[in-house]
């Protein structure tokens, strides 16, 4: 039987805590049909948000997102070819 997908903020938080240090793919909604698509490493988790260190060499090297962003699908997070959240 397949593992249950995280469906609450607490579930998403625990899932991400268990995957700190792993490579992640992010697709973040920036509004007006614009998306930021990038890869990075899940660095840290905090009570309300998590931090991803990006693989890019541009000015922004770290980004933080809230667990609610993942739950509401404003941010799509993929770890080990499995989407987190939905």
Structural domains in the chain plus CATH codes:
9-84 (2.30.30.100)
**Residue 69 corresponds to which tokens in the numbers above?**
């962003």
Question: What stretches of the chain show up as alpha helix (H) in DSSP?
Answer: 9-17, 67-71
Distance from C-alpha of 83 to C-alpha of 86, rounded to nearest angstrom: 7
Of 20, 14, 3, 5, residue with least CA distance to 76? 5
Quick one: residue 21, left, alpha or beta (phi over 0 = left, psi -120 to 50 = alpha)? left
The predicted model scores a pTM of: 0.82
Distance from C-alpha of 71 to C-alpha of 62, rounded to nearest angstrom: 21
**Mean pLDDT per 10-residue run, the chain (86 residues)?**
65 94 93 90 95 78 92 92 82
């Amino acid at each position: 039987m397949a593992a249950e997908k995280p469906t609450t903020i607490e579930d998403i938080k625990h899932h991400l805590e268990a995957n700190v240090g792993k490579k992640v793919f992010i697709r973040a909604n920036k509004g007006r049909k614009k998306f930021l698509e990038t890869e990075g490493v899940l660095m840290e988790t905090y009570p309300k948000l998590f931090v991803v260190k990006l693989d890019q060499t541009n000015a922004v090297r770290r980004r933080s997102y809230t667990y609610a962003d993942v739950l509401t699908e404003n941010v799509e997070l993929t770890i080990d070819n499995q989407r987190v959240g939905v």
